[in-house]
A and B are shown apart, each in its own frame.
Chain A
Amino acid sequence: MNQFTGKVWVLGDDIDTDIIIPTDYLALPTVEDMKQYGFSPLRPDLASRIQEGDIIVAGKNFGCGSSREQAPEIIKALKVGCVIAKSYARIFFRNSINNGLLLIENSEIQDVVKEGDMLTVNPGEYLELNGKKYSISTLPDNLMDIINAGGLVKAMQKRNGVI
């Protein structure tokens, strides 16, 4: 995955799946119909302001709560470049990988970044903000393969053809 730069939206700790997409909108037919309601309980205007390639930066335990896969799907549908958080809840983490959404763990950037800043992401290597670099860890190869293929189903079809 290549280096990219995006505008930052800053969120707090414990951003749960019901904030990412409230239950009420899950009955809508497609993720495209749902995406305008992303993050609406917390920031009703956020989904309409996010532009392709923007970056969401958050605190600890991002994606806690329900197993609803529409949560990472919506972030992907909003064309967010990646999410950077201090930590992730595990079901959300797996669901994001399975949908080809890049998640980066970093404990420092949320404390220093301001909303609207431009942040450069070099996947597996570093984040760059205002000329300063912040190191990030690499996901295991098998998980990066899934992300690069665009999700679990596509990756498995490529790899062994069993599904």
Chain B
Amino acid sequence: MGMTIGEKIIARAAGVDVVKPNDIHTVTLDRMMSNDGTTHLTVDMYNNKLKHPRIADNKKVVFIMDHNVPAENPKTAEAHKKMRNFAREHDIALYEGQGICHQIMMEDYVCPGELIFGADSHTTTYGALGAFGTGVGCTDFLYAMTTGTSWVMVPETLRFNLHGKLPEGVYARDLILTIIGDIGANGANYKIMEFAGDGAHNLTIDERIVLCNLTVEAGAKAGIVEPDEKVVEYCESHGRQAVHMFKSDEDASFAKVYEYDLSKIKPVVVRPDFVDNFDTLEAVRKEKIKIDEAFVGSCNNGRIEDLRIAAEVVKGRQVHPNVRFLIAPASQAVYIQALEEGIITTLMKAGAMVMNTNCSVCWGSCQGVIGKNEVLISTGTRNFKGRAGDPSSKVYMANAATCAASAVKGYICGPEDL
């Protein structure tokens, strides 16, 4: 029996020839990433709970501050200090303010075929380059950092064959939100979502990031796009070699196979408070739902392609006086490129607030928090009850064009309504 991409990656990390679903293996991790959401807890456990504290290989560990950057109160400042000092003491790569953890990992570290643990649920992002990234808590992270290993149960793989191209004005975000709407918020629980077919290869790396990043919202352990020439080019242009370009074998076994015609995908608006509360923009726009805030950013949708879309929509227009339109580029590299392309100027002239690169509104803590009964339309990763602020507030999820158009009109609508 052949293996899927995810199975091949686990087999490589376990040092065995073959693995099959539900096997439990001890694996050697290629890399471990932790951000300021929980690193201070990991450091506390390392210092106070371990009898033999050590780090197996500090070159494999990356610390990235992105959730509350720069610190917004003395408590997070202390948590940051703890993280910073630990990184210095143990010679661990430390990023502070250069970007959202997953974007930094894509730009500077991830290679196809790697098995990576991240102390953040959206670590599934790394499948955009054919890697197996999965989110863990701080105890699992501590064990991985200390021993260089962990245990994994081999998940089953769901295969998504994508065909054709997305229509004009429809984006990868609409595709993945459609898929989540179809299979549900636990439709891929404990499984790998593997994407292949000509439609997958038509997607840019940025679009594949959008796809893989949100697979965890369907419960997936990993989301992986079959790697191709675009992955090789991306790695080489970022100074890395693509070595382990795994593809599923012809006779690999999938728990289920889905077929998606990309030309049929439409702009999506996900209603509050569940990520699978799918609806189409076409239906939602009729209700003219008033918004208080619009956000373009996050590890899902804060890259240059998304900022270009938002700028194109608001160019020569003004943000509605009742709306705060917030933008947070996913990394400094994205921010600089947007500056050079004039995108930031366009957004600011339209009245947008452009913020430093961080998790921002999507994290619901340090920026753009919304108050009682307020409504946000967001390119963020989640719309859980109270995710962006007060429990009575509402979060709608949509693509960058819809968020930008809604910011101009003051209610949920698409660019064609302007």
Residue of B nearest to A156 (CB): B143
Cα-based distance from A67 to B33 in the complex (angstroms) = 13
Given contacts A67-B136, A91-B136, A95-B140, whether A27 and B75 have CB atoms under 8 Å apart is yes
Q: Which of A13-21, A48-56, A120-128 contacts B (4 or more CB under 8 A)?
A: A13-21
Select B186's contact among A41, A64, A68, beta carbons within 8 Å: A64
Q: Does B284 contact A (CB under 8 A)?
A: no
* Interface membership of chain B positions 315-334, coded 1 if the CB is closer than 8 angstroms to chain A and 0 otherwise: 00000000000000000000
- Is B221's CB under 8 angstroms from A19's CB? no
- Is B385's CB under 8 angstroms from A41's CB? yes
Cα-based distance from A67 to B363 in the complex (angstroms) = 13
Q: Which of B12-20, B45-53, B92-100, B305-313 contacts A (4 or more CB under 8 A)?
A: B45-53
Using Cβ atoms and an 8 Å threshold, which residues of chain A touch B138?
69
Using Cβ atoms and an 8 Å threshold, which residues of chain A touch B219?
61, 64, 89-90
- Is B364's CB under 8 angstroms from A23's CB? yes
A-B contact count (CB 8 A): 123
Q: Does A66 contact B (CB under 8 A)?
A: yes
Select A94's contact among B45, B136, B365, beta carbons within 8 Å: B136
Cα-based distance from A15 to B146 in the complex (angstroms) = 32
Q: How many A residues face the partner with a CB closer than 8 A?
A: 42
Within 8 A of B (CB), among A17-41: 18-19, 22-24, 26-29, 40-41
Using Cβ atoms and an 8 Å threshold, which residues of chain A touch B384?
16, 18-19, 65
- Please name 11 further chain A to chain B contacts, defined as beta carbons within 8 Å, in addition to the given A67-B119, A89-B186, A151-B139, sorted by A numbering: A14-B185, A26-B365, A27-B365, A42-B385, A66-B120, A67-B37, A67-B38, A89-B189, A89-B219, A153-B45, A163-B51
Give chain B's interface residues, CB within 8 Å of chain A.
24, 37-38, 41, 45, 49-53, 68, 73, 75-76, 79, 119-121, 135-140, 142-143, 146-147, 185-186, 189-190, 216, 219, 221, 274, 363-365, 382, 384-387, 391
